[in-house]
Amino acid sequence: MKKTIILMHPSRKVAHVNVGFSWPAFFLGPLWALIKRLWWHFLVLLLALTVTNFVTDYVISSKSLLSVFLDLGITLIYMLVCGIYGNRWLMNTLLKRGYIVVN
């Protein structure tokens, strides 16, 4: 059962934030943050993705099986962090922008 928290801004704008894992944040990362207007999160995720891509380029050039699994693990951890914390980041940002929880 999916739970959604409804937030309302004093200007009567309504936002819905799901509780739990965010699949869009898991798969899209910084693009998801950009779409949701989470500017600082976008910059941090983009920087982390850039570093991960540099590690991936190094791993491809090293041709070591251990390095490939290490890179796969780092990428998976990055994606899991985005998915686990995505909705929390969105909720906290909306609360800072003046939204209040309705339900």
The predicted structure's pLDDT at residue 103: 80
Nearest to 101 by CA among 3, 2, 9: 9
Q: For 11-57, how does the pLDDT look when each residue is reduced to its tens digit (9 = 90+)?
A: 999 999 999 999 999 999 999 999 999 999 999 999 999 998 888 88
Q: Flag whether pLDDT at 1 surpasses 80.
A: no
CB-CB contact of 25 with 32 (8 Å): yes
Q: For 65-89, how does the pLDDT look when each residue is reduced to its tens digit (9 = 90+)?
A: 887 888 889 889 999 999 999 999 9
Q: Is the backbone of residue 42 left (phi > 0), alpha (psi -120 to 50) or beta? A: alpha
